[in-house]
């Protein structure tokens, strides 16, 4: 006997109308899917607040992306923030797709994936991942 037939016969024993009520009360399962879009180095580390708040940063920490369409240096600029501190930007060579997605209202989430305290090159100190939620 197939599982579905077994459940229907079991529910039939309990009362035919009960089966409709049981199925009606179960809410649909909604799962959020995450699509990894990119992993990037932080641009502008040396020009913004990243160095000042370094002790507060941790791998896995959530970052906030803010679109800056009126940025005079780059019309596709996407700023990277930690709490209320501006850390830097998504690199220019990697920001166009993210900017277009943000302009279309897509929900993006970002987290720190790597911190290298002893690294002298500011482009290698912080890496972060950007995901799209669906």
Any idea what DSSP says for residue 42? P
Whether 67 and 127 map to the same domain: the answer is: yes
What share of residues in the chain are helix, strand, coil (percent, to 5)? Answer: 30, 30, 35
Minimum mean pLDDT range among 3-7, 15-19, 44-48, 70-74: 15-19
Same domain, 49 and 82: yes
Average pLDDT, the chain: 85
Same domain, 78 and 122: yes
Residues 80 and 105 in one domain: yes
Q: What range does the domain containing 13 cover? A: 1-30
103 vs 10 pLDDT, higher one: 103
* pLDDT (0 to 100) of residue 115: 94
Give the containing element (helix H, strand E) for 85: strand 85-89
> Whole-prediction pTM value?
0.73
pLDDT at 10 exceeding the cut of 60: no
Same domain, 22 and 43: no
Tally of structural domains, the chain: 2
Q: In this structure, are 1 and 26 located in the same domain?
A: yes
CATH number at residue 125: 3.30.70.2330
What is the rounded average pLDDT of the residues 16-23? 51
- Number of Cβ within a 10 Å radius of residue 66: 12
Residue count of the chain: 134
> Does position 9 have pLDDT exceeding 70, yes or no?
no
Q: Which of 109, 99, 104, 103 is nearest to 129 (CA)?
A: 109
- In this structure, the answer to whether residues 13 and 46 fall within a common structural domain is no
């Amino acid at each position: 006997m197939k599982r579905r037939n077994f459940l229907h016969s079991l529910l039939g024993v309990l009362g035919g109308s009960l089966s409709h009520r049981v199925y009606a009360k179960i809410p649909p399962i909604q799962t959020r899917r995450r699509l990894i879009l990119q992993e990037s180095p932080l641009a502008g580390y040396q020009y913004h607040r990243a160095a000042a708040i370094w002790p507060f940063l941790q791998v896995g920490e959530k970052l906030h992306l803010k679109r800056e369409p009126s940025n005079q240096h780059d019309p596709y600029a996407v700023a990277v923030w930690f709490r209320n501190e501006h850390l830097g930007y998504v690199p220019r060579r990697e920001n166009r797709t993210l900017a277009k997605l943000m302009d279309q209202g897509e929900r993006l989430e970002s987290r720190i994936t790597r911190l290298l305290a002893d690294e002298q090159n500011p482009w290698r100190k912080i890496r972060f991942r950007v995901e799209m939620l669906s």
